[in-house]
Amino acid sequence: MRLDVVTIFPEYLEPLDVSLVGKARARGRLDVHVHDLRAWTYDRHHTVDDTPYGGGPGMVMMTEPWGEALDTVLADGYEAGSHEPALIVPTPSGRPFTQELAVELSERPWLVFTPARYEGIDRRVFDEYATRMPVYEVSIGDYVLAGGEAAVLVITEAVARLLPGVLGNAESHRDDSFAPGTMANLLEGPVYTKPPRWRAREIPEVLLSGHHGKIARWRRDEALKRTTAFRPDLIERCDPKAFDKKDRETLSALGWVPDPEGERYGRFWRRVDDVEE
């Protein structure tokens, strides 16, 4: 997979040299190219932004540097034998970045990232490149960064670890919280390792029992507890068929009941004490 990143802060992308993404590069699974947007400015101040039409706060990144940069980066990539580029634009107004989207992006041969600063990039840049390639505007969460570079690091890491031959164990994705295609997307519960006693704290006895069935059940109950506490939205949307009898007992003990009324809105479960207005 080829990755290009065009940014006014190339140093911000230095983490791509280390850790998992660095390993993927060393193993020849990733070919990363970071470019300084200001290389495509021709005035003495290397200007990349201007005031917004219609007024308002902040500055908007200009069409010209981005157009020149993307034309060059795309031409160089095609020249080097890459094909089917996709443009990835981090923005708080994008579609949510999910594990499902990470899988989709990991199946593409070439990703071109355009992390913006200020109030974002002139819309015509995306309209222009959308005529030539898929454009994914993505948000990594409901908070606002100062620019898209950190989001590029997040997306890149989520994608790189899915590439064949990057993680050691071929099965290491299967248990991921949010792995697509599992029967229920639950958050993973707590994990423990040696020593068995630390500062008078012991580990749950069941984990030492050697009883694999009981351990699996305990882990599943912990996952249900954690998911109801932190991500009730994930439970609400779960088809009751995704749960076995013991799951339903655990959910009931946690105060969750099937919601036949909510079903037509895709809400299959509710807390017992949540009553319809």
Q: Which residues bind ligand JDN (CB under 6 A)?
A: 90-92, 116-117, 120, 139-140, 144-145, 147-148, 151
State the helix-helix crossing angle for 212-230 and 245-253, rounded to 10 degrees: 40
Taking the complex as a whole, the smallest distance from the CB of residue 140 to ligand JDN amounts, in Å, to: 5
Q: Would you say 255 and 232 are in contact if contact means Cβ atoms under 8 Å apart? A: no
Residue 203 DSSP class: P
- Check whether the bond before 258 is cis (ω within 30° of 0): no
Taking the complex as a whole, the smallest distance from the CB of residue 48 to ligand JDN amounts, in Å, to: 12
Question: Of 256, 188, 183, whose CA–CA distance to 220 is shortest?
Answer: 188
Taking the complex as a whole, the smallest distance from the CB of residue 96 to ligand JDN amounts, in Å, to: 11
Taking the complex as a whole, the smallest distance from the CB of residue 70 to ligand JDN amounts, in Å, to: 17
Q: How far apart are CA 2 and CA 32, in angstroms?
A: 6
Taking the complex as a whole, the smallest distance from the CB of residue 234 to ligand JDN amounts, in Å, to: 22
Token pair in block for residue 108 = 């593409």
Taking the complex as a whole, the smallest distance from the CB of residue 97 to ligand JDN amounts, in Å, to: 9
Q: How far apart are CA 204 and CA 95, in angstroms?
A: 40
Residue 97 DSSP class: P
Task: Kindly tell me which of 159 and 224 has the beta carbon lying closer to ligand JDN.
Answer: 159
Instruction: Kindly list the distances between the CA atom of residue 112 and the CA atoms of 108, 185, 218, in Å, as whole numbers in the listed order.
Output: 11, 30, 44
Token pair in block for residue 165 = 């031959």
Task: Kindly tell me which of 16 and 152 has the beta carbon lying closer to ligand JDN.
Answer: 152
125 exposure class (CB count in 10 Å sphere: 0-12, 13-18, 19+): buried
Angle at 65 between CA 63 and CA 67, to 5 degrees: 60
What is the H or E stretch that residue 257 is in?
A: strand 256-258
Task: Kindly tell me which of 60 and 224 has the beta carbon lying closer to ligand JDN.
Answer: 60
Task: Kindly tell me which of 42 and 143 has the beta carbon lying closer to ligand JDN.
Answer: 143
Task: Kindly tell me which of 22 and 92 has the beta carbon lying closer to ligand JDN.
Answer: 92
Task: Kindly tell me which of 65 and 148 has the beta carbon lying closer to ligand JDN.
Answer: 148
Residues 6+ apart with CB under 8 A from 21: 15, 30, 32, 156, 157, 160
Q: Which residues are catalytic?
A: 92, 119, 161, 176
